[in-house]
Structure 1
């Protein structure tokens, strides 16, 4: 058996037990693969931690990995091979200054690489926390070496001060868009573009209120635009809501956007965004009372048409009352429509000091506040945001929040899972054997596992969950390369490289088809599960229905012989390849019900205090149900035999099931012969005097006992009665050779006291204590 399959089968059962029966649908992965060195290619440098920044340089064949005080260039096909590295450490003076500000010198007062972006000239823009004093520089890879240019730039507003604070950044045409904090205390959150000309958000709670930044994405909405629209940059984050009247702070998820060509206002909103708009993004999870908070997002696009793009986002609860995580999908066109046509929220002062946010129903200025410069604005001789009237700018300054919230596709999540919280997500599109395309979600968790999941027309299905690291660490970064076909994950303890498809884990056709993996199909010619992209032949696959009826008949499972002595314990192992299957045990083709001495385990069956009735042919069945059918698969068979009770090595094999047995008449004839033989045996014993005749016993019981004339007569009578009493429990044989056999007569008082009784000689009888001498 393949080692990975055996390990996964053992641990997936343990995972199933940790998930309650009230778990939401689709939350249990079909296969759970525990940590194994073959699960992924790992990279770790001794003494280096926090591998949380990744940059794919497919043009150089490199994976640029940012960690604490170091940057590595790894072979993109095998990240265990280090091509180059460079250190970026802080000085002792910087550590002292950081420590004097109340920070931990061993953890916080280090340089954590937080930004790695490719420039148009091929160089890499890199920023680090630099002991709570952010700094940026340029990095180049030439002649197999990584080299800093040494042109240090101030990193405030680009890179976070705190290495453990959430942030987001993106590089668009050599312009860095970043969302972080502007000061040491982290009390001035900002969405900023560094060049050309620095421009940022206002320091107002109506703009950003205690935010946790998540991710950023750029959309080319100007391409073939009918109204001459501009490109957009979208920001996903969560923040404390200002629009809800609550006794305590309530956090909500947000999506905001700005226009690429925004230059700020002429008088109002100078060097501030004139196009900053935000709204709530909603992900309904069952009956949750508090909104779930966004943790990461991924932009998926199939073509240059931005309206077909989808944002996939993961959400986790903001309270400890739930251990659910969810994935929701949103159309970019729906988000753009809310910002372009939606209503605004406006603050209203109530009871002298309290501010309530309500939908704005007054007149909206022209050009529309927050809109990008388009053909309609150009007709009014407004070609830049600097030309916008103050009325429009003041309106958006006071009202950056929209009324409508963004709802997911089909108004429901594409995946809900109970267990370790989700941390990161990437999405890939793959074409199945039937020609239909499916979106496969790769999701990282706080336990260092990677999920591969699909939503088949509303049906949530997790193909597998794989442990990437030996020590459970949250996955902090996740990247997908369409060039290499691999995923790259980072955590505090190291980085991992994982293939998109793991078809080789399925060792049978039925297991391959029931896995419902769009990447994989069963090759009948080669007799194995292979990736669709690596085979030109027609493969057996059924991702929507899970129909394995087209699979050829599997080879029968040969029974394994197991022997056990009476009173001992025997374990019969049964490792199913599917976590969605039900395990059923049979003995001699009859279903076994859980009852002593049989005990069902997660990975087998336990026979306790074995006896002869426990012998037989045991079969373990895996029953898995899909939309198409119910499939029973024999996982293991055991022929169990029980040894004899006398302790000798005499093996008693259990009777085997027979299809053709003797008739009822033949069984009756056998019983008649046995009865005749028993009667003959009794008659012979009566004739020989070995057994007294019944009427003699009745006559003797009716006589009055006579006084014995001497001790010999008394002894003979006592011995005869004892011998007759003992004959009821022990076998009696005749022996002419034993003329002096003796037997001790014992009487007990409370089962502990022995008396001296007279002895009698029985020349024709012998008591057998050892049954083996019969």
Structure 2
């Protein structure tokens, strides 16, 4: 195989603590000791799931799933193979795909169902399939389900997934050609709930991340939990000579059941907004989002969303980290103005603000106590006017602006690909956000937000070859010893992954 060799490794090292003197202006450069995992003839260790409870790192590769020890990834505890039978492989080849590359089973989904099982999906020779993996004996049920809408057909396609209360939320392509993008929810008890196939809903998106934000138990208005999706898509609102890309955040409600007549088995709560990451003073826009990390607070209002961005015009060589308050996102979705297709063909604007009367209840809103009092206990009770409106107006005009109206961090001559953020208490007793960003050259930057500014404090050369870091995972566990404020006794574990290899680094705050 020409896929190169596959490796999975772990770094052990000490991180700089954030002391009262503040971070250094020039990052120190360091190498780390690397522990590797790989197995002959197995490639593309591309899907990772960390289980703190089981002290395990689950790895989805090409035609195999591994359970490795989290503390030492060279230790393989379990392995199961999932290959493609002859007939699907032949069908895949008949459609012009490569036997060695495309017509295999790339594991793309690893999600926890409960303490006993994982839900796993693979591309399965361009006929995606899903199955349950029993953790007790590490065996697949071997009762595969149709994976369309849950898993990508193509191993190289953008893709995101999150499991919420036993239901799988995905952003992927629904067809063989990859031309029909879909945001969907699959639950064993109900049929697939999905987006409309329309460019105003999704227009050639590249999905990067999805997660749930829980409302918490003390909600006065009885709002629903919400699932947020992050992606870059081709703009529908501006027409330029080329395709203008725009970073988006979209939202759906967990309790959404679709509409009764209008939007049957489709989201009634799908709305999307533009994510702004720019330097207004220079008129410079970072319009491609590569990765997102949600730093959750005790209350959803304290949650901060971090994203890494570059410009679609890559010749400038700048990368940016922008941060957004969850309250700012919520404000746009609950109060923002809608866009509508322009009736008069203006020169380059295809969508304009909708200034008419918005139906009530608000289109795209989650069911809350007020609606319940008006006999709308689920989305099936929503009036057609509201549903027809949200079907035609999924795009909000108000953009989501970053904290401080600009990037937290801008770097030159690096392309950031991945981000994770850890909130730590330093020796001075203050809380800091420590930002880890992976680059397309196998380097990781460690930065600290300090007095409103972000300083890169360390540049860690992780990979000998300059390959792109494709995955970063963060494990923060407090050790068994009593938690001492003076020494942050938190282990930080970062799992990095690139096309032919994977890496997992364990860094200890002492």
TM-score when scaled to structure 2?
Answer: 0.89
Please point out which of 130, 134, 143 is paired with 1:151: 143
Shift of 1:247: 2.7
Please point out which of 53, 60, 72 is paired with 1:66: 60
Partner of 1:162: 154
Kept in 2: contact 1:42–1:494 (CA 8 A): no
Shift of 1:103: 1.6
Shift of 1:354: 9.1
Kept in 2: contact 1:265–1:274 (CA 8 A): yes
CA distance in 1, matches of 2:108, 2:287: 26
Kept in 1: contact 2:238–2:348 (CA 8 A): no
- Higher deviation after alignment, 416-425 or 91-100: 91-100
Shift of 1:325: 0.9
Partner of 1:78: 72
Deviations 1:552-593 (A, max 9, x none): xxxxxxxxxxxxxxxxxxxxxxxxxxxxxxxxxxxxxxxxxx
CA distance in 2, matches of 1:240, 1:169: 21
CA distance in 2, matches of 1:354, 1:404: 19
CA distance in 1, matches of 2:26, 2:177: 42
Please point out which of 338, 342, 366 is paired with 2:332: 338
Shift of 1:52: 1.5
Which consecutive residues of structure 1, in runs of 5 or more, have no partner in the other structure? 5-25, 502-518, 520-530, 532-774
CA distance in 2, matches of 1:351, 1:149: 56
Kept in 1: contact 2:278–2:284 (CA 8 A): no
Shift of 1:158: 0.4
* SS across alignment from 1:410: helix
Shift of 1:458: 3.0
Partner of 2:297: 302
Please point out which of 357, 360, 372 is paired with 2:354: 360
Partner of 1:247: 241
Partner of 2:370: 376
Deviations 1:171-192 (A, max 9, x none): 0000000010110001110100
Kept in 2: contact 1:222–1:230 (CA 8 A): no
Please point out which of 492, 496, 502 is paired with 1:485: 492
**In the alignment, structure 1 residue 182 sits paired with structure 2 residue 174:** yes
Cα RMSD after superposing both structures:
2.1
Deviations 1:204-249 (A, max 9, x none): 1110011111100101125311211111000000111111132322
**In the alignment, structure 1 residue 437 sits paired with structure 2 residue 413:** no
Counting helix residues as a fraction of each chain, which structure ranks higher? 1
Partner of 2:95: 101
**In the alignment, structure 1 residue 32 sits paired with structure 2 residue 29:** yes
* SS across alignment from 2:370: helix
Change (3 A) 1:353 1:189: farther
Shift of 1:292: 2.2
**In the alignment, structure 1 residue 171 sits paired with structure 2 residue 166:** no
CA distance in 2, matches of 1:224, 1:400: 29
Kept in 1: contact 2:337–2:353 (CA 8 A): yes
CA distance in 1, matches of 2:91, 2:203: 29
**In the alignment, structure 1 residue 323 sits paired with structure 2 residue 317:** yes
Partner of 1:508: none
- Higher deviation after alignment, 283-292 or 377-386: 283-292
Kept in 2: contact 1:476–1:489 (CA 8 A): yes
Kept in 2: contact 1:27–1:417 (CA 8 A): no
Kept in 1: contact 2:238–2:349 (CA 8 A): no
Partner of 2:184: 192
* SS across alignment from 1:500: strand
Shift of 1:58: 1.9
Shift of 1:330: 0.5
Kept in 1: contact 2:474–2:493 (CA 8 A): yes
Shift of 1:29: 5.6
Kept in 2: contact 1:449–1:466 (CA 8 A): yes
Deviations 1:83-111 (A, max 9, x none): 11111122344333222212222222221
Shift of 1:355: 7.6
Structure ID, larger Rg: 1
Please point out which of 117, 120, 127 is paired with 2:111: 117
Please point out which of 273, 287, 294 is paired with 2:267: 273
Higher relative contact order structure (alpha carbons within 8 Å, sequence separation ≥ 6): 2
Aligned length: 473
Shift of 1:481: 1.0
Which consecutive residues of structure 2, in runs of 5 or more, have no partner in the other structure? 1-10, 12-22, 478-490
CA distance in 1, matches of 2:285, 2:327: 27
Change (3 A) 1:163 1:463: same
Shift of 1:467: 2.3
Matches within 5 A, 1:705-744: none
Kept in 2: contact 1:347–1:355 (CA 8 A): no
Please point out which of 298, 307, 310 is paired with 1:313: 307
Partner of 2:422: 428
Partner of 1:350: 344
Partner of 2:218: 224
Counting strand residues as a fraction of each chain, which structure ranks higher? 2
* SS across alignment from 2:92: helix
CA distance in 1, matches of 2:419, 2:362: 35
Deviations 1:251-309 (A, max 9, x none): 10000000000001111011111111101001014736454211110111131x10100
TM-score when scaled to structure 1?
Answer: 0.59
Kept in 2: contact 1:222–1:229 (CA 8 A): no
Partner of 2:379: 385
Kept in 2: contact 1:74–1:81 (CA 8 A): yes
**In the alignment, structure 1 residue 453 sits paired with structure 2 residue 460:** no
- Higher deviation after alignment, 444-453 or 204-213: 444-453
